Chain A
Amino acid sequence: MYPDGVAQAPGRAGKAEVGSGSVSIAALTFGDLMDSTPHWYPVERKLPMNLSLTTATNERGLETKHLHDSIPRASYAPRRSRRRKGAETVEFALTFLPFVAMLFLLVDSAWAIFAKSTLEYAVRAGVRQGITITGTQATAAGSNQTAMVKAIVQSNALGLLSGATGLSEIKVNYFLPPAPGSNGAMTDVSTQTNGNAPLNVMQVSVQGYSIASPVPRMFSWKTKGDGSAMAIGAVAADLIEPGSDSPPIGTAP
């Protein structure tokens, strides 16, 4: 052992010594520890407090070194575990955020699809029943054709069009078809008392309905998230069934 605590160069004969202080880390290679060809590099590093170096001479005269650790092996476990926990936290953060974004996208899409299909069904049901309403039925219900159609749509909308607000978003229009051979457009006769005459067109639609987005929709990292409500509409139309018992039209649209 050199006076300054530097580990003795391999290959020199000598007694077994216990050294401490600094050692060439590069010298502590697998080859050294296995007592084979030693390596020596002039790079000196201080040994950690828990490490000590033992130098000994074997039967063949070769100098061997042994590194001892004063800390039991089991004591390393908590330190490695803490390091691993840190890595796990980072990995969790990296995967959790995209996962949550995907989840919200799925919920957002599913909600919109559900609302759209529900409204489509509701207006279709309103038209299907609405074109067959007779005056007798309207009198019995104490109502009129437009109000009855709106009620049918509302009851088939699974609560999406509940209340006065939902009712106001349901529109019932009546159109007079153009005469045969005419290139004119259909005439909106919703405000006329005979607008619901047989073979006129009844059009039921949902207008102004929108659903709020659970989270802002991100289309790009560079643009701000779109948190605006999504407008959803639905429309269906059919010819009013012929008959002589037309119900009162009510207040349309």
Chain B
Amino acid sequence: MLVLVPMLLGTIGTGLNLVMELQTIELARDAGHMYARAGPAADFSQPGYQTLLASIGSTLGLSTTAGKGSAVLILSQVLYVDKGICASDGKVDGSGNPLGCTNYGDWVFTQRLTIGNSSVKTSNYGSPVVTGKTPVTIASNGGISLSDQVTNVGDVATFGVGINPYKDVSGVVSGLPSGQTIFIAEAAANGYAMPPIVNNPLMYSYSMF
């Protein structure tokens, strides 16, 4: 019994967490695809979209109320700051080379939306720094100004995972086209805890488009 009971409870706990992980993957996948497909036409800060996302993640405990529930969905758009982005904010010299373009060569956030309980997990790609001397200003719809994207170091994302930035070497263009953003959806949820067999399980998944 001393062996069978922990084995049984562990099997059940692991099974429940397996289902929750599948739901987390599905939430990240669905949210990411809608986020990317709709593009600027869709505003995921709107209650209508958030209600839809909450219905997909309802069994995970995703709430539309900030700070509530046991799950979180983090939507981010990241952009590679190249000469073209610097130029769009006027941070270039007469030859078109970056001048005062602090974030040149970095990936920066152009939008950040957090739905649900943000204390469940923070983004694996960092977050815009909204405190300190030069905080990043995030609008109500999650948008971040071009000025912050180009010059505010607090807006730089921890992002270098296999995505080649835009390159134009002797007229040969490779990587992500200039100005193109990457849509990231990260979903995380507190799993089914059953100490000491399963301690503080955290379900996490992300998708990029």
Contact = CB atoms under 8 A, between A and B. Distances in A.
A102 interface: yes
Contacts of B26: 120, 124, 236
B166 interface: no
Nearest to B17: A113
A130 to B, nearest CB: 13
Contacts of B5: 102
Contact of B41 (A184, A199, A233): A199
Interface residues of B, number: 33
B8 interface: yes
Given A177-B48, A186-B51, A199-B38, A235 B18 contact: no
A56 to B, nearest CB: 55
B15 interface: yes
A213 B82 CA distance: 60
B38 to A, nearest CB: 6
Interface stretch (B29-37, B89-97, B99-107, B125-133): B29-37
Interface stretch (B52-60, B65-73, B112-120, B179-187): B52-60
Interface string A207-218: 000000000000
Contacts of A235: 55-56, 58
A230 to B, nearest CB: 13
Interface in A199-253: 199, 201, 203, 233, 235-239, 241
Nearest to B21: A117
B105 to A, nearest CB: 32
Contact of B30 (A117, A186, A236): A236
A110 B38 contact: no
Interface residues of A, number: 35
Given A177-B48, A177-B49, A238-B37, 18 more contacts: A102-B5, A109-B16, A113-B19, A120-B26, A121-B22, A180-B43, A180-B46, A184-B46, A186-B52, A199-B38, A199-B41, A201-B34, A233-B59, A235-B55, A237-B52, A238-B30, A239-B33, A239-B42
18 contacts: A95-B1, A102-B8, A106-B8, A106-B11, A109-B11, A117-B19, A117-B22, A120-B19, A124-B29, A175-B52, A180-B41, A181-B46, A186-B48, A186-B49, A186-B51, A201-B34, A236-B26, A238-B34
